[in-house]
Amino acid sequence: MDYGIREPARLGQIRLPDGRRLGWAEWGPLDGTPVLLCPGAATSRGLAFGGGVVDAAGVRLVSVDRPGLGSSDPAPGRTLTDWAADIRHLIQERSLRAPSAVGFSQGAPFALALAANGLVNAVAVVSGCDELAHPRFAHSLDPQVRGMVDAVAADPGAAEESFAGFGGADALWDLIITTSCEADRAVYTDPVFQHAFRRAMDEAFSQGPAGYARDTVLAMSPWPFDPTTIAVPVDLWYGQQDTSPVHSPDLGESLTRMIPTATRHLLPTAAGSLLWTHAEDVLRTLPARVR
């Protein structure tokens, strides 16, 4: 199956006001509708989705490396609000007029932070990491994830050091394969997809594990914005077969109730990899919400 894996049409970096570099990759026409991709945990700008759809859909897909991952310089102690400030400059530098955003897996809170800060006009959360530190999940988290949330709450610095010691791309790959359902493993171990996925993970860890560790602290912390104030359309895409313990324990059900503009899509036969198995649905629904 073709999972839409394509080499980027354009690669580059911008220079931020503090001198840091922020790396990006693009697919689709330059004059297309801009869609910012916030990738999943410990993957780089090079792993996108919908490569066979973006041109026909008129989408300019822009994937961005978060600080400390891939081609983006580190920003120790960064927050989700800092991420929004970085993307504000990217939007200006790359002339991304009225962009939307897609947040996959751990990229979900980063995409929602853009909406909360008024930077995008629609968001698609795909197999998204929910606000795991929220009290509504106090008794429904996987025990290992519960331990991570509690560790961050007790001592964020020590937790970040622990996450940095987890390992690198190989350890994370093993964890993903171990916790994925059969449908997801079929996607991730497809030879073409696996090559692109592993390469993106290697690129993400090219500066060491600090960027991944900081992202994980942010994913296990309370969000610095109130989801109930998000005013742009938000589509929440989940596969009912998804078994990842770090996505949403209720597959976005309670998040849909919290975000007043949210629409939930629960696909019975899909799993956590639906960003690649249902790319056309995601990419064609997003601009339609804006119109």
Strand locations in the chain (E): 10-15, 21-27, 33-38, 59-64, 100-104, 123-126, 234-239, 262-267
Q: 1 pLDDT exceeds 90?
A: no
Q: Give the count of domains, the chain.
A: 1
Which pair of tokens denotes residue 127?
């197999």
Q: Which helix (H) or strand (E) holds 280?
A: helix 279-290
Residue 138 lies in a domain: yes
CATH assignment at residue 106: 3.40.50.1820
Q: At what angle do helices 80-93 and 108-116 cross, to 10 degrees?
A: 70
Q: 267 pLDDT exceeds 80?
A: yes
Q: In what order do the strands lie in the sheet with 100-104?
A: 10-15, 21-27, 59-64, 33-38, 100-104, 123-126, 234-239, 262-267
CA-nearest of 8, 19, 24, 32 to 87 is 24
Cβ pair 213, 185 in contact under 8 A: no
Residue 24 lies in a domain: yes
Residue 61 lies in a domain: yes
Burial category of 253 from C-beta neighbours within 10 Å (exposed 0-12, middle 13-18, buried 19 and up): middle
Residue 50 lies in a domain: yes
Which pair of tokens denotes residue 129?
């990491």
Residue 3 lies in a domain: no
CA-nearest of 70, 99, 56, 98 to 12 is 70
Residue 5 lies in a domain: no
Give CA–CA dist 98/121, Å, rounded: 6
Cβ pair 270, 180 in contact under 8 A: no
**pLDDT, tens only, 54-105:** 999 999 999 999 999 999 999 999 999 999 999 999 999 999 999 999 999 9
Cβ pair 212, 42 in contact under 8 A: yes
Give CA–CA dist 213/164, Å, rounded: 5
Which pair of tokens denotes residue 275?
């960003």
Q: Which residue has the tokens 């931020």?
A: 16
Q: 285 pLDDT exceeds 70?
A: yes
Residue 270 lies in a domain: yes
Residue 4 lies in a domain: no
pLDDT of residue 287: 77
pLDDT of residue 15: 98
Q: Label residue 291 by pLDDT band (50, 70, 90).
A: low
User: Could you list the residue range(s) of the whole structural domain that residue 172 is in?
Assistant: 10-290
Give CA–CA dist 120/255, Å, rounded: 19
**pLDDT, tens only, 148-187:** 999 999 999 999 999 999 879 999 999 999 999 999 999 9
Cβ pair 25, 8 in contact under 8 A: yes
pLDDT of residue 289: 76
Give CA–CA dist 221/128, Å, rounded: 15
